[in-house]
A and B are shown apart, each in its own frame.
Chain A
Amino acid sequence: MRTLALVVARAIAGVLLVLPVAHAETVSLPYDLMIDLPEGWRVDGPEQGKLGTDGLRRVQLICATEACEKTQETCTVLMRRKPIEGDDDAAKVRALYESPFQRYLRLRAVLRNTRRDAEILKPLELVKIGERDWYRVETDARHNYKSGFFAETVVNGLYVGTICKSCETGAVRHQDGLRILTSLKLRALKAAGAH
């Protein structure tokens, strides 16, 4: 009974994100971005990430807590230097998946990323995480594969995506990933509008 109560509490916490979180570390990302890493998380590789041939800079985050030993959670933050056309950040996020073709290609990409026979756990939709709007989609992997949490937003005109992977199969997944997303901010307010 206690376990169930704990699960429920965690579920509520996961959805509402109201639980106080001890910020273990603040990490500076490229392009003036910052995130807070929950306890037990660290950056794998350079903090400035690696620039891929697709123009995306990737910063790998890994978790080394006891819980993560089972769930094998990881997150990747993806950033693009090229600014997105549009009015404000909220409009730019909305524009990401205005067309059904773009949504289809997104579903295709996340299903591919979650390997064969994956299912969509939560549909691709605009949700509020922290102070920002994110286009989020979650996949449910078949046995022995990692499920994924995929979210994208626009910060100060720049594209930011996050991919979190976990072996967790229960209803509550990617809690730490959500916390990381919530903590995303620009390094200094005066930098806003500089791009």
Chain B
Amino acid sequence: MGILPAVPRPSEAASPEPFAIDATITLEDRIAAALFLYRDLFATARRRWLMVLAWIVIVLLFVMGFQAWEGSGKDGLQAFATRFFSDLTGIPGLPLPLILVPAAIYYLLQPAIVRRRLRLWYRDEKLDQPFTGHYRFEAGGLVSATADQTSVTACRRLGGIAETAGHVFIQLKDIEDVIVLPKPQLSPDQVEKLKAWASLCHVDGPGTTLPAPESETSGEPNLTIRFVPTEADRAATLTWQQERPGMRRRRWRGFAMAFLVAAAIPPLLIVFAWLLDPQRVPLRYTVPLFAEMFVTDFWKWILGFWAIIGVIVLLHPWMRRSHARQISKQLHKRLRYYETEFRFYVDHLDTLQDGLHNRFRWAAFDGLERKDDYFLLRLRLGEPLTVPMRALDGDRLAIFERLVKDHIETAGNKIGETA
């Protein structure tokens, strides 16, 4: 690896010996990393579901209480309580388990559903192939490298390690990423070394006083741009992701499914009500009437449901944008955005922040897209780099376009442009 940095000079502090770990990162490891990185967002979504559910139950109980009060003749708490509890355990109380049981099942399955969505997303984005990562742990920081990308992270940009049953995560400070190491590939000795290193090299540890591992210098860049990423930039990237072909395909499949399910709801509701009715009319008398209901009523209900879904489909672009804004707001709260510098060279691109130096060889990219006021440099192994137009003032825009297009085209990559 020609772009691996030189070994830093030894420090005065009793720092552990530098050591290296090579690991193969599979799709499942990346899913684990995403689940770990966004655990707060996933937990919030899960809690929100619980809140909505609680409100539905409260409203249902209130309605039932009102009906029980009316039904009990409004004379005294005793009669009301008797009526209410007999309602609760009887047929009038059925909506409660009918809503609660599926909702509880969804709540329990939510982690599995999230994992499945992530897996599909990685597959759609062709990010599901395993890659080998080289990690070098030094007193002053961490050097991580894949085939076409090297990152040097100073201790002040590291957030310590976290362990789960299957993985060790190296957390990054104010960077929306995490380094994942699969435990089965680590020897107990390596885990011990990692822990010792992490206790020194993190944002509040003594490692911050040491110089970061040095990056290989590379002369004068052809173009340098600087900008401070904002919440709006993050929202733009999210919006771009929402419009990826895979996401679109799944969305339309979801809508089609919603239309199908909506068509099945009215007859199912009636069958369900019939089954639950202790005084139900025998099947042989019911079937002709049920068939007639399709002609007289069900189609109207189905059209009604479809109209609602149609409105949702129409409003969905707006809902997506608002969702992207909301998520970027949440992300913005937990990250501090540093000034970022992009340096374009003949054979690579460097991105620099305080304590962070990424180097991407041009082969690391597989495309350039323009979306509204942003350029997105698509990476083979991860999420795209976002360059806002505001950083490309004056003649920088023309130089940028020429450079990037040349380099990504030389690597034989597609250039895409979306509205």
- Asked whether, in the complex, the Cβ of B279 is within 8 Å of the Cβ of A100, the reply is no
Taken together as a complex, chains A and B put the C-alpha atoms of A111 and B277 apart, in Å, by 13
- Asked whether, in the complex, the Cβ of A107 is within 8 Å of the Cβ of B297, the reply is no
B280 close to A (CB within 8 Å): yes
Query: Which of B279, B286, B289, B293 is the one whose CB lies under 8 Å from A112?
Result: B279
A195 close to B (CB within 8 Å): no
Within the complex, what minimum Cβ distance (angstroms) separates A97 from chain B?
Answer: 10
In the complex, residue of chain B having the shortest beta-carbon distance to the beta carbon of A105: B281
Within the complex, what minimum Cβ distance (angstroms) separates A12 from chain B?
Answer: 28
B292 close to A (CB within 8 Å): yes
B55 close to A (CB within 8 Å): no
Within the complex, what minimum Cβ distance (angstroms) separates A187 from chain B?
Answer: 38
Within the complex, what minimum Cβ distance (angstroms) separates A65 from chain B?
Answer: 34
> What A residues does B272 contact at CB under 8 A?
none
- Asked whether, in the complex, the Cβ of B297 is within 8 Å of the Cβ of A108, the reply is no
B interface size (C-beta, 8 A): 13
Interface residues of A in 8-54 (CB under 8 A from B): none
In the complex, residue of chain A having the shortest beta-carbon distance to the beta carbon of B291: A100
- Asked whether, in the complex, the Cβ of B293 is within 8 Å of the Cβ of A107, the reply is no
In the complex, residue of chain B having the shortest beta-carbon distance to the beta carbon of A118: B282
Taken together as a complex, chains A and B put the C-alpha atoms of A103 and B282 apart, in Å, by 14
In the complex, residue of chain A having the shortest beta-carbon distance to the beta carbon of B290: A100
> What B residues does A62 contact at CB under 8 A?
none
Query: Which of B277, B280, B282, B292 is the one whose CB lies under 8 Å from A100?
Result: B292
Taken together as a complex, chains A and B put the C-alpha atoms of A100 and B300 apart, in Å, by 14
> What B residues does A103 contact at CB under 8 A?
289
B164 close to A (CB within 8 Å): no
Taken together as a complex, chains A and B put the C-alpha atoms of A100 and B266 apart, in Å, by 14
Interface residues of B in 22-65 (CB under 8 A from A): none
- Asked whether, in the complex, the Cβ of A104 is within 8 Å of the Cβ of B281, the reply is yes
In the complex, residue of chain A having the shortest beta-carbon distance to the beta carbon of B292: A100
Interface residues of A in 74-111 (CB under 8 A from B): 99-101, 103-104, 107-108, 111
Taken together as a complex, chains A and B put the C-alpha atoms of A111 and B292 apart, in Å, by 20
B296 close to A (CB within 8 Å): yes
A158 close to B (CB within 8 Å): no
A120 close to B (CB within 8 Å): yes
> What B residues does A119 contact at CB under 8 A?
282
- Asked whether, in the complex, the Cβ of A100 is within 8 Å of the Cβ of B297, the reply is yes
Known: A99-B296, A99-B297, A101-B297. A108 touches B280 (CB 8 A): yes
- Asked whether, in the complex, the Cβ of B293 is within 8 Å of the Cβ of A108, the reply is no
- Asked whether, in the complex, the Cβ of B279 is within 8 Å of the Cβ of A108, the reply is yes
- Asked whether, in the complex, the Cβ of B285 is within 8 Å of the Cβ of A100, the reply is no
Taken together as a complex, chains A and B put the C-alpha atoms of A99 and B282 apart, in Å, by 19
In the complex, residue of chain A having the shortest beta-carbon distance to the beta carbon of B280: A108
In the complex, residue of chain B having the shortest beta-carbon distance to the beta carbon of A112: B279
> What B residues does A107 contact at CB under 8 A?
281, 285, 289
In the complex, residue of chain B having the shortest beta-carbon distance to the beta carbon of A116: B279
> What A residues does B277 contact at CB under 8 A?
108
Known: A99-B296, A99-B297. A104 touches B289 (CB 8 A): yes
> What A residues does B296 contact at CB under 8 A?
99-100
> What A residues does B292 contact at CB under 8 A?
100
- Asked whether, in the complex, the Cβ of A111 is within 8 Å of the Cβ of B279, the reply is yes
Within the complex, what minimum Cβ distance (angstroms) separates A35 from chain B?
Answer: 31
Taken together as a complex, chains A and B put the C-alpha atoms of A107 and B280 apart, in Å, by 9
> What B residues does A104 contact at CB under 8 A?
281, 286, 289
Taken together as a complex, chains A and B put the C-alpha atoms of A119 and B279 apart, in Å, by 13
Taken together as a complex, chains A and B put the C-alpha atoms of A177 and B285 apart, in Å, by 25
- Asked whether, in the complex, the Cβ of A101 is within 8 Å of the Cβ of B293, the reply is yes
Within the complex, what minimum Cβ distance (angstroms) separates A54 from chain B?
Answer: 15
- Sample of 17 more A-B contacts, CB < 8 Å, known A100-B292, A111-B281, A119-B282: A99-B296, A100-B289, A100-B297, A101-B293, A101-B297, A104-B281, A104-B286, A104-B289, A107-B281, A107-B285, A107-B289, A108-B277, A108-B280, A108-B281, A111-B279, A111-B282, A112-B279
Chain A residues near B (Cβ < 8 Å): 99-101, 103-104, 107-108, 111-112, 119-120
